[in-house]
Structure formats: C-alpha cells, structure tokens
C-alpha cells in the first residue's frame, strides 16, 4: 500500500482524507463535531475565538475557521463532512459551501452540477493538461 495516495496527488483540487490528514485535523474535526449540540453552537456564535481556544488546534487551524476558509481547513486536516457543521451553524447549505470552495456563485455552481459537474478536460491531471 506504500504510495497508494500518490496517484491522487496529481488530481487538481484533491486532498485525500487519509490517516495522516486525520491525525493532522483531529482537534479541528472534534471542534466541528461539537457543533452538533445546540449549546455548543450558541457558545461558538457568542464568542468564536474563546470557543475555539477550548480545542487544542493550531493557530493556523483556528484562523482558517475564523476566516471560514474551507479549502485551508481541508489542507490542515479538516474532513468536509465535519466542516459542514460550521457551515450549518452559519446557516449555509452544503451546496453553498461547495460554491464558496470553488469560487463560483452558488447559482453557477448548481447549474454546473446539474449539467454533469466539472468538465474532465483540465481537471483530471496536474501534469497532463490535455486530460
């Protein structure tokens, strides 16, 4: 299994949530899961910085949460299914989060997905721009 994830590193925009990412993002993801409880959502919304300090995340992870930089949170070990709890706490749908992550307006993102998703050309491989 050595090098199993290497094949995925060539796909643009792909971060494989593997054991390494899981360890990296453990506390970030625990924070996200805490938002499943109403009292924790209220505490977070009342004072985001103070609530985040109750989790032993890195300063970079905390800042990514405060910035709502989902792509950065993923790079720092966040699992998108856990990160969606932040979006839900803010009142956003998963579709809205995905549109933010792609830099597309939500209506354009929805239309793209309804039409079959991103085109394969240019999105299959970083090294082969024709694929």
Give tens-digit pLDDT for 73-129.
Answer: 999 999 999 999 999 999 998 888 888 888 888 898 888 889 888 777 766 666 665
Same domain, 56 and 34: yes
The total number of structural domains that make up the chain: 2
The verdict on 34 and 58 lying in the same domain is yes
User: Considering the domain boundaries, does residue 6 fall inside one?
Assistant: no
Same domain, 61 and 113: no
CATH code (residue 52): 1.10.700.10
* 39 and 85 assigned to the same domain: yes
Query: How confident is the model at residue 122, as a pLDDT?
Result: 65
CA distance 77 to 92: 21
pLDDT tens, 1-58?
Answer: 445 566 666 666 677 778 888 898 999 999 999 999 999 999 999 999 999 999 999 9
Flag whether 131 is in a domain: no
Alpha-carbon span 9 to 83, nearest angstrom:
21
State the pTM of this model.
0.80
pLDDT of residue 18: 81
Residue numbers of the domain that contains 109: 93-124
Alpha-carbon gap, residue 65 to 13, rounded angstroms: 19
């Amino acid at each position: 299994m050595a090098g199993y994830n290497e094949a995925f590193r060539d796909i643009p925009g792909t971060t494989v949530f593997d054991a390494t990412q899981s360890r990296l993002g453990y506390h970030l993801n625990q924070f996200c899961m805490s938002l499943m409880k109403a009292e924790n959502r209220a505490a977070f919304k009342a004072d985001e910085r103070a609530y985040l300090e109750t989790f032993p995340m890195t300063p970079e992870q905390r800042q990514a949460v405060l910035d709502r930089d989902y792509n950065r949170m993923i790079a720092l070990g966040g699992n998108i299914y856990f990160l969606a709890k932040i979006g839900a706490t803010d009142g956003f749908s998963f579709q809205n989060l995905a549109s933010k992550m792609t830099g597309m307006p939500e209506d354009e993102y929805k239309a793209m997905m309804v039409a079959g998703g991103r085109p394969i050309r240019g999105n299959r491989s970083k090294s082969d721009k024709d694929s």
